[in-house]
Amino acid sequence: MSIFILVVSIALLLLLISVGKLNAFIALILATLFVGISKTMPFTEIINSLQKGIGSTLGSLILILGFGVILGNLLSDSGAAQRISNVLIRFFGVKHIKWAMLLTGFAVGIAMFYNAGFVVLIPMVFAVAISTKQPIIYLGISMATALSVTHGFLPPHPGPTAIAVIFKADIGKTLLYGLIVAVPTLLVAGIIFPEFIKKIKANPPQGLFENKIFEENTMPSFSISFLTALVPVLLMAMATGSELALHENSSIRHYLAFIGNPTISMLISVLFALYFLGIRRGRTMQDLMDKSGTALSSATMIIMIIAAGGAFKQVLIDSGIGKDLAGVFEGSSLSPLLLGWLIATIIRVALGSATVAGLTAAGIVQPLVVSTGVSPELMVLSIGAGSLMCSHVNDTGFWMFKEYFGISIKDTFKTWSVMETIVGIMGLIGVLVLDKML
């Protein structure tokens, strides 16, 4: 019954948006209510779950998204994003510009959470696309691939790190194996796959980013432009490094953890950008705030849709659909690595959250790690790969990609969802190959 309700709720959502032409925010709320009522949740629990989903999603994202939009607008409006893109273009050449997006996304993704990395890099993607006259989606999917791979495979990201702790896996080995698996995954999903989606056109919200081409003498220097974009990455990397190098009672570690928090690091980055890309170059604070306000207004619907996606995900969790699906695989005789990947995939499809899918699957297969002697590090990667599979309408990342690039649901499936699935499948293949070699 749970599988039937899940399928019908997704079909209802797609019909409301594509056929009924309903706004995605309203459609997601209606689909959320449908799931709760179909699972006979008490009405008060449905409302509480809906509010909890919105609150938990916006609670962790709203400030990051807000500061990210402002930072992105400052990078774009000042010409800093174009300056960075010009250097990347000269270094890699237009023909290999995908590699620039991929490697930049990977470097940023190692230190930053997916959502924070996405909003920081988006203005550069737009600037590079304008300068090279390359399709925005073509370049954006390369960047998103790198962020997704680091999010699912590599410690110190919360998902793989938490799963590694559950399995008592060696963090260093997990990172090493993750990097080995990441290379072919990035090549297929981030370099080869974009060639098949070049004709899909993006239509980003008006006012979100500056689309003009700047003259050479009107742009800030590359050093200050690159440093401004890198500030949140550096702060988060310092916080992560302090956790590994300093004692947990160290005051320095606590200070670095504070300024390296994604929200605080994004705020510091905005203040840095306001001064070095604005005030120091002769612009008034009023002008800077007016432009930032316009960008924030353009991002309002993006934030609302992401919040509604969080509500949909939460009701799927609270209604017990995830547990119902997970229970089907208890006692299975499949290979532990394949089983972990499969369970994570199914829970990911059902609930949307990669982290929830990974942790739930880890709890189910954890006894197998002990009883079968399978490599705990490879099990972390297997579940991480499964947790990225088949992203669709119950995943906030799906809506973020769709709304920032301004594409249809159909095109989001053809780009984002396919890319995430390629990453998940390539991750599993890499894990199975490593298992044979070790």
pLDDT per residue over 362-372, tens digit each?
A: 766 776 777 77
Q: Is there a domain that residue 78 lies in?
A: yes
Q: Is there a domain that residue 149 lies in?
A: yes
Ranges 34-38, 310-314, 399-403, 430-434: which has the least confidence: 310-314
Provide the mean pLDDT of the chain: 84
Whether residue 61 is predicted with pLDDT greater than 80 in this model: the reply is no
Q: What total number of domains does the chain contain?
A: 1
Residue 260 has what pLDDT? Answer: 85
Ranges 11-15, 168-172, 299-303: which has the least confidence: 299-303
Ranges 21-25, 280-284, 421-425: which has the least confidence: 21-25
Residue 435 has what pLDDT? Answer: 92
Average pLDDT of span 303-329: 74
Q: 109-118 in b/e burial notation, b at 16+ Cβ within 10 A?
A: bbbbbbbbbb
Residue 373 has what pLDDT? Answer: 77
Judged on CB neighbours under 10 Å (0-12, 13-18, 19+), 206 is exposed
Of 24, 204, 237, the closest CA to residue 117 belongs to: 237
Average pLDDT of span 186-195: 96
Q: Is there a domain that residue 123 lies in?
A: yes
Q: What is the per-residue DSSP string for 181-213?
A: HHHHHHIIIIIIGGGGSTTPPP-PPTTSS--PP
Ranges 46-60, 140-154, 211-225, 294-308: which has the least confidence: 294-308
Q: Is there a domain that residue 300 lies in?
A: yes
* Per-residue tokens: 289: 């705030």
Say if residues 155 and 178 touch (Cβ distance below 8 Å): yes
| Per-residue pLDDT band at 110 (split at 50, 70, 90) | low
Q: Is there a domain that residue 201 lies in?
A: no
Q: Is there a domain that residue 111 lies in?
A: yes
Average pLDDT of span 368-387: 87
* CA pair distance 181, 173, nearest whole angstrom: 12
Range of the domain at 281: 56-156+176-185+212-311
Ranges 1-10, 25-34, 86-95, 188-197: which has the least confidence: 1-10
Average pLDDT of span 222-243: 83
Average pLDDT of span 46-53: 91
* CA pair distance 5, 2, nearest whole angstrom: 5
Whether residue 344 is predicted with pLDDT greater than 90 in this model: the reply is no
Beta carbons within 8 Å of 275's beta carbon, 6+ residues apart: none
Ranges 36-45, 156-165, 213-222, 380-389: which has the least confidence: 156-165
Cα distances (angstroms) measured from residue 126 to each of 76, 122, 136, 210:
9, 6, 6, 9
Q: How does pLDDT run across 117-153, given as a tens digit for each residue?
A: 787 788 888 888 888 888 999 999 999 999 899 888 8
Whether residue 67 is predicted with pLDDT greater than 60 in this model: the reply is yes
Torsion angles phi and psi, residue 260, rounded to 5 = -90, -5
| Per-residue pLDDT band at 327 (split at 50, 70, 90) | low
| Per-residue pLDDT band at 112 (split at 50, 70, 90) | low
* Per-residue tokens: 324: 């119902």
Ranges 12-26, 156-170, 218-232: which has the least confidence: 156-170
Q: Is there a domain that residue 14 lies in?
A: no
Average pLDDT of span 305-313: 77
Average pLDDT of span 173-202: 92
Average pLDDT of span 405-423: 95
Residue 329 has what pLDDT? Answer: 58
Q: Is there a domain that residue 80 lies in?
A: yes
Whether residue 434 is predicted with pLDDT greater than 90 in this model: the reply is yes
Average pLDDT of span 33-59: 89
